[in-house]
Amino acid sequence: MRFVSFRPATSVLATVALLLIANAPSQAQTRAETLRYVTGASVNTLDPNIPGSTRESFALSMSTYDRLVAFGRKQLNGKWVFDLDTITGELAESYDVSPNGLKLTFRLRKDAKFQDGSPVTAEDVKWSLDRCVTAPILGKAQLLTGSLTSADQFKVIDPLTIEVTLPKPDKLALPNLATVYPMIINSKVAKEHATADDPWATAWLKEHTAGSGAYVVETFKPGEQVILKRDEAWNRGSANKPAFFKRVIVQSVPEPATRANLVERGDADIVVDLQASDVQSLEAKGKLKVISTPQYNAITFVSMNNQIPPFDNVNVRRAIAFALPYDDMFKAALFGRGAPLFGATWPDGKPANGIYPFQAPVKTDLDKAREYLKAAGLPEGFATTFSFNVGQASTAEPMASLVKESLAKIGIKVDIQKLPDAQMSTQINEKKLPFFTEGIVAWLPSTDYFYRNFYTGNQRWNYSSINNPEIAAIAQEARFEPDKAKYEEDGRKLNAIHFSEMPQIPLWQPNQDAVMASSIEGYTYEFHRQVDYRDVSRK
C-alpha cells in the first residue's frame, strides 16, 4: 500500500511552492496594450441578431462590425454619455436627409475596407439592411420602430451611395441605423456560406464574423471568453486612427466579488457589473476610477397589473404610490447609486417637462395612502403577492421586504415571491403577475418610444397592461410630430396622464457603475449599457 507513504509532506510542500511562484512578468509589455474586460455575463453569438443573444454579444458586435452611422457623445453632469441627437457617419462619410424627411442618402467612405481587405460597397450595405428587415432575426423588430420594414426601401445609387426611403418622416429611422442590429456585413463572404434553408447565412455568422469593424475575433469560446485583435487598417474612430488597444480580452467571471478583486488588483482593466456595495467600498479606497452614470435610458419600477383586481382601481394604484418607502428602498437596494424618479414637486400640479422618464411628485405619505384606499372601497386593505426575479435579487430582495413592511402599515398584506428568471418572464408575458418589480431599457429613449412600447397594446412589454386609448393616440401622433414644441406638449400630456392613472410607479434610474484602472480613459456610457471597447484608451 504505497499510497500512504510520505505524500502528505510532499503535497504540502508542492502546494506552498506553487503558491509562492508569482505571476510570470514576461507579458508585461503587451499587458499595457491589452484591455482586459471582465463581466458576469457572456458572449453567446458573434451575430447580435440571433434570437437569444446576450447584451455582451451586442457590445462585442459594436467592435467587430461597423454601421452606416454612429451616435455621438455628450457630457451629462460631467460624464460622457451617448448622444441620441448627434449622429455621425461611421461607414458613411456623410449623409443627407431630404427636406421632407422621406429620403436618407448615405455616401460611403472610399477607404473603408472589410477585415479581409475587400472594399465596403453599397451592395454590401443593401444586402445587410435587407437581411435585417427580411430574415427572421432580432433586427426586424428593432428597425420596425424606425419605419424600416422592407427591402424595397434600400436602393443602391452607385457603388458608394445608398438611398433609404421612408413611408413617413420618422425621427427614429436614422438613429435606428446606429443601433446594434443593422451592422454592415461583407455580403460576398456571407453569401458563400448561405444555404437554401438559410439564405441570410445566420448559422454561419453566429460563429464567424465578416465585418469591417475595429477588432477581429481571434478566439471565441462561448460562455467563457473572446479575444479580439485590433484591425490596423480601421479608421472609423474619431481621430482617423485605429482603436487604441491592440488586444481586447472579454472574459466571463460569474462571481461579482472575484470581479471586484480582479479590478482592484489591477489584473482586470474595467468592469461595469459589480455589486453596489463593492463599488462603494472601491470608490472609498480611491485607488480606482469609478464613473457612475445614471442609466438615463433605463428605469426600474414597481408595476401593477391594471386589469387584475384590486389594481384595476386607480385609487388602489395611487394608494400604493403613496405607501412605498421610497427613500429606504433607494438606500437599501441601490445604496443611493442612481437618479430617483420620486419626490418631485410640481408647483402647479403639472409635469415639469415632456420628457419620459420623469420625476413624479410622489413620496411616502401613509395618511394619503389610507385615504386613497378608503376611496377605493378597501379601507381594510387586501392581500397580494409581490414578485421579482432571481437575477435581480441583490437589489430586489431588500426592496421587497421594505415594500412588504410599509404596505402592512396601511393594511395591505404582501407575500414575497422570488421567481427564476425564465418563470418570471413567462408569467409577465401571460399577464399573470398582479404586483411586481421590473426594469426596462430603451435604446432610443424618446418619450413617444417609451409610451408606445411600454404603455400600449396587449403585449409583453406593457407590464402594467394599461389600456388607455388616449395614451395610445397621443404617443402615435407624437411619433411623427416634426414640430419640437408640439412634441414637447404631447410629452407633457402623456406624463400628466401617467401620473393621474398611475399604471405603474417608476422608482429610479440605477447607475451604471464603471470601475476601471486609473489609467483607463474615454469611457462612455453607451445605449447598449456595455463598454464599447473602441471608446477607451490607456494613459
Partner 1 sequence: MTGLGATMVRAGRRLLSSLPALFGVLVFTFLLMRVLPGDPAVFFASGPNAGKEEIEQIRKQMGLNRPVPEQLVFYLSDIGHGNLGRSMMTGQPVLKDLRERLPASLELTFTALLIALIAAVPLGVVAALRPGSVVDHGVRLFCALGVCVPTFVSGLLLIYVFYYLLGLAPDPTGRIDVFTSLPPQRTGFLSIDFLLAGDFEGWWAACKQLVLPAVSMALFVIAPLARITRASMLVSLGSDFVRTARSVGLSWRKVVVTYALRNAILPVITIAGIVFSTMLGANVLVEKVFSWPGVASYALDALLSSDYAPVQGFVLLMASLFVLVNLVVDVCYGIADPRVSIE
Rounded Cα distance, 100 and 355, in Å: 25
By CB atoms closer than 10 A (0-12, 13-18, 19+), residue 59 is: buried
The CA-atom distances, in angstroms, between 16 and each of 5, 11, 12, 265, 290 are 19, 9, 6, 21, 36
Q: 3-state DSSP call for residue 138?
A: coil
From the list 25, 27, 78, 485, which residue makes contact with partner 1 (rule: CB under 8 A)? 27
Q: Minimum Å distance from CB 133 to partner 1?
A: 13
186 binds partner 1 (CB under 8 A): no
Q: Name the grid cell of 392.
A: 435581480
199 binds partner 1 (CB under 8 A): no
- Residue (160 or 433) nearer to partner 1, CB: 433
394 binds partner 1 (CB under 8 A): no
51 binds partner 1 (CB under 8 A): yes
31 binds partner 1 (CB under 8 A): yes
Q: Minimum Å distance from CB 138 to partner 1?
A: 5
The candidate with the shortest Cα–Cα distance to 389, out of 415, 344, 425, is 425
Q: How many residues bind partner 1 (CB under 8 A)?
A: 72
Amino acid at 365: D
425 binds partner 1 (CB under 8 A): yes
- Residue (121 or 176) nearer to partner 1, CB: 176
- Residue (254 or 379) nearer to partner 1, CB: 254
- Residue (238 or 258) nearer to partner 1, CB: 258
252 binds partner 1 (CB under 8 A): yes
15 binds partner 1 (CB under 8 A): yes
281 binds partner 1 (CB under 8 A): no
136 binds partner 1 (CB under 8 A): yes
From the list 150, 394, 459, 519, which residue makes contact with partner 1 (rule: CB under 8 A)? 459
User: Biggest alpha carbon distance in the chain?
Assistant: 90
Rounded Cα distance, 276 and 412, in Å: 30
Rounded Cα distance, 302 and 395, in Å: 13
- Residue (279 or 410) nearer to partner 1, CB: 279
Question: In sequence order, what are the residues at sequence separation of 6 or more whose Cβ sits closer than 8 angstroms to the Cβ of residue 13?
Answer: none
From the list 13, 144, 383, 393, which residue makes contact with partner 1 (rule: CB under 8 A)? 144
284 binds partner 1 (CB under 8 A): no
Q: Minimum Å distance from CB 203 to partner 1?
A: 10
From the list 86, 150, 258, 518, which residue makes contact with partner 1 (rule: CB under 8 A)? 258
x/- string (CB under 8 A) for partner 1, residues 214-233? -------xxxxx-x------
The candidate with the shortest Cα–Cα distance to 507, out of 294, 316, 305, 354, is 294
Q: Minimum Å distance from CB 164 to partner 1?
A: 19
Q: Name the grid cell of 92.
A: 458613411
From the list 167, 199, 254, 377, which residue makes contact with partner 1 (rule: CB under 8 A)? 254
Choose the stretch contacting partner 1; rule: CB under 8 A; options: 33-41, 191-199, 236-244, 486-494: 33-41
Cα angle 449, 450, 456 (rounded to 5 degrees) comes to 95
Rounded Cα distance, 240 and 259, in Å: 33
From the list 238, 385, 426, 518, which residue makes contact with partner 1 (rule: CB under 8 A)? 426
Q: Minimum Å distance from CB 308 to partner 1?
A: 18
Contact between 251 and 39 (Cβ < 8 Å): yes
- Residue (95 or 301) nearer to partner 1, CB: 301
From the list 157, 383, 408, 422, which residue makes contact with partner 1 (rule: CB under 8 A)? 422
- Residue (240 or 458) nearer to partner 1, CB: 458
Choose the stretch contacting partner 1; rule: CB under 8 A; options: 41-49, 92-100, 324-332, 396-404: 41-49
The candidate with the shortest Cα–Cα distance to 517, out of 30, 34, 64, is 34
Rounded Cα distance, 349 and 365, in Å: 17
- Residue (261 or 280) nearer to partner 1, CB: 261
- Residue (43 or 164) nearer to partner 1, CB: 43
- Residue (120 or 419) nearer to partner 1, CB: 419
Dihedral sign for Cα atoms in the order 431, 448, 48, 199 = positive
460 binds partner 1 (CB under 8 A): yes
Q: First and final CA of the chain: distance in angstroms?
A: 61
4 binds partner 1 (CB under 8 A): yes
411 binds partner 1 (CB under 8 A): no
| Secondary structure element (H or E) that encloses residue 247, with its range | strand 247-252
Question: In sequence order, what are the residues at sequence separation of 6 or more whose Cβ sits closer than 8 angstroms to the Cβ of residue 267?
Answer: 36
141 binds partner 1 (CB under 8 A): yes
Beta bridge partners of 414: 384
Rounded Cα distance, 341 and 356, in Å: 10
Contact between 242 and 234 (Cβ < 8 Å): yes
From the list 218, 267, 365, 380, which residue makes contact with partner 1 (rule: CB under 8 A)? 267
From the list 200, 322, 443, 487, which residue makes contact with partner 1 (rule: CB under 8 A)? 443
170 binds partner 1 (CB under 8 A): no
Q: Minimum Å distance from CB 212 to partner 1?
A: 23
150 binds partner 1 (CB under 8 A): no
Beta bridge partners of 216: 229
Rounded Cα distance, 149 and 132, in Å: 9
Q: Are strands 247-252 and 34-39 parallel, antiparallel or unpaired?
A: parallel
39 binds partner 1 (CB under 8 A): no
Contact between 262 and 268 (Cβ < 8 Å): yes
